[in-house]
Amino acid sequence: MERMADPPFNCPACKDMYQASDFAPTLHDTIYLYAYALSNAINKSGTSNVVHNGTYVAADNDFNADIMSTSTITMDGFFIYSIIRDLAEGLNYIHKSFLGIHGNLKSTNCLVDDRWQVKISEFGLTGIRRVEKRSAADRLWTAPELLRMDSRLGTQPADVYSFAIICSEVVNMKKAWETSDRADCDPEEIIRMVQKDSRRPFRPVIQPVATDLSPAMLHVIKDSWSDEPSERPKIETIKNLLQSMNTSKSTNLLDHVFNLLEQYAVSLEDEVQQRTQELNEEKKKSDILLYRMLPKQVADKLKLGQSIEPETFDCVTIFFSDVVSFTTIASRCSPLQVVNMLNDLYSVFDGIISEHDVYKVETIGDGYLCVSGLPHRNGNDHAKNIANMSLAFLKSLDRFSIPHLPGERINLRIGVHTGGVVAGVVGLSMPRYCLFGDSVNTAARMESSGK
Q: Are residues 135 and 175 located together in one domain of the fold?
A: yes
The secondary element (H helix, E strand) that includes residue 274 is helix 253-293
> pLDDT tens digits for 352-369?
998 888 998 888 888 899
Identify whether 41 is part of a domain: yes
Identify whether 108 is part of a domain: yes
Q: Are residues 144 and 134 located together in one domain of the fold?
A: yes
Q: Are residues 117 and 255 located together in one domain of the fold?
A: no
Per-chain mean pLDDT for the chain: 79
Pairing type for strands 50-52 and 55-57 reads: antiparallel
C-alpha–C-alpha distance, residues 335 and 339, integer Å = 6
Q: What pLDDT does residue 141 have? A: 92
Residue 206, CA atoms < 13 Å, CB-side half-sphere? 20
Domain boundary among 212, 230, 248: 248
Q: What pLDDT does residue 72 have? A: 52
Give the SS3 label for residue 273. helix
CB count in 10 Å sphere of residue 7: 8
Q: Are residues 182 and 258 located together in one domain of the fold?
A: no
Q: Are residues 147 and 64 located together in one domain of the fold?
A: yes
Is the pLDDT reported for residue 224 higher than 90?
A: yes
Is the pLDDT reported for residue 234 higher than 90?
A: yes
Residue 358, CA atoms < 13 Å, CB-side half-sphere? 29
Q: How many domains does the chain have?
A: 3
Q: What pLDDT does residue 73 have? A: 57
Poorest-pLDDT segment among 42-46, 178-182, 289-293: 42-46
Q: Are residues 279 and 404 located together in one domain of the fold?
A: no
Q: Are residues 272 and 380 located together in one domain of the fold?
A: no
Q: What pLDDT does residue 427 have? A: 78
Q: Are residues 263 and 234 located together in one domain of the fold?
A: no
CB count in 10 Å sphere of residue 199: 5
Average pLDDT over residues 402-417: 87
CB count in 10 Å sphere of residue 81: 24
Residue 69, CA atoms < 13 Å, CB-side half-sphere? 7
Identify whether 185 is part of a domain: yes
Smallest CA-to-CA distance from 140 within 181, 185, 170 is with: 185
Q: Are residues 81 and 96 located together in one domain of the fold?
A: yes
Poorest-pLDDT segment among 68-77, 265-274, 315-324, 338-347: 68-77
Poorest-pLDDT segment among 44-53, 85-94, 313-322, 338-347: 44-53
Average pLDDT over residues 196-215: 85
Q: How far apart are the first and last CA of the chain?
A: 124
Identify whether 181 is part of a domain: yes
C-alpha–C-alpha distance, residues 79 and 102, integer Å = 25
Is the pLDDT reported for residue 123 higher than 90?
A: no
Identify whether 414 is part of a domain: yes
Identify whether 302 is part of a domain: no
* Banded model confidence at residue 293, pLDDT cuts 50, 70, 90: confident
CATH code (residue 320):
3.30.70.1230
Q: What pLDDT does residue 36 have? A: 36
Q: Are residues 160 and 224 located together in one domain of the fold?
A: yes
C-alpha–C-alpha distance, residues 29 and 52, integer Å = 8
Q: Which 3-state string (H, E, C) describes 280-315?
A: HHHHHHHHHHHHHHCCHHHHHHHHCCCCCCCEEEEE
Give the SS3 label for residue 111. strand
The parent domain of residue 202 ranges over: 12-248
Q: Are residues 274 and 404 located together in one domain of the fold?
A: no
CATH code (residue 215):
1.10.510.10
Question: Does 330 or 38 have the greater pLDDT score?
Answer: 330
Sheet with 110-112, side-by-side order of all strands: 61-62, 110-112, 118-120
* Banded model confidence at residue 138, pLDDT cuts 50, 70, 90: confident
> pLDDT tens digits for 244-259?
887 666 667 777 778 7
The answer to whether the pTM exceeds 0.75 is no
How far is CA 306 from each of CA 250, 283, 425, rounded to the nearest angstrom? 58, 19, 12
* Banded model confidence at residue 302, pLDDT cuts 50, 70, 90: confident
Identify whether 28 is part of a domain: yes
Q: Are residues 139 and 69 located together in one domain of the fold?
A: yes
Identify whether 72 is part of a domain: yes
Domain boundary among 238, 259, 293: 293
Poorest-pLDDT segment among 192-196, 270-274, 294-298, 443-447: 294-298
Q: What percent of the chain has pLDDT over 70?
A: 79
Question: Does 251 or 6 have the greater pLDDT score?
Answer: 251
